[in-house]
Amino acid sequence: MLNYVNDNYKDAKLSESAANTLYSTLEDGKVDLNQLNPETLNKNLFGYNYPDGKNPRKYNGESDYSVAPTEIEVPVFIHDKDYDKLHAVGAGALFNNTATIAADDRFVDSMGKLEDKYRKEGNNKLMIQAKILGRGLNSASQPKRQTIKSILKQAITFPSIR
């Protein structure tokens, strides 16, 4: 089971215990690879499911959004879904894909609002986490913004041809 799934599903990367759990669901000689692999839960920054690149996964390696996000994860969850709609994957999309700027801006704005909310509530732990997530993504997305600024500057200053 382990070798079959890992050899045939690009992003599965099943552990032996995950393969054993999957095998235990065998019915009529078949398993459902589209179910959530519980070993993929809480593997991200601060022990959450969504902030970072290791979202919960199905046994076949696909992202699984069936786990409800906590309040601080909601902007991340939406951001991930926005990236999925754009087929933007991984760090390359964050650093270089200018089509993702609107999603990044929504994320940073939402995290700023949560940061303010948690500050007013006196919840320093969540306030700091929201600050790290929002400002971290904003910093990471700066290279693609600089590329656009450079292109626009060149377009504006390019001498006209007569």
Verify that 64 and 76 share a domain, yes or no. Answer: no
Question: For the whole model, what pTM was predicted?
Answer: 0.77
pLDDT of 28 over the 80 cut = no
Q: To the nearest whole number, what is the mean pLDDT of the chain?
A: 87
Q: What pLDDT does 69 receive?
A: 97
Tell me what percent of the residues of the chain surpass a pLDDT of 70: 88
Q: How far apart are CA 56 and CA 67, in angstroms?
A: 8
Mean pLDDT, residues 106-118: 98
Verify that 86 and 158 share a domain, yes or no. Answer: yes
Q: How far apart are CA 59 and CA 31, in angstroms?
A: 10
Domain that holds residue 49: 1-68
Domain end call among 33, 68, 103: 68
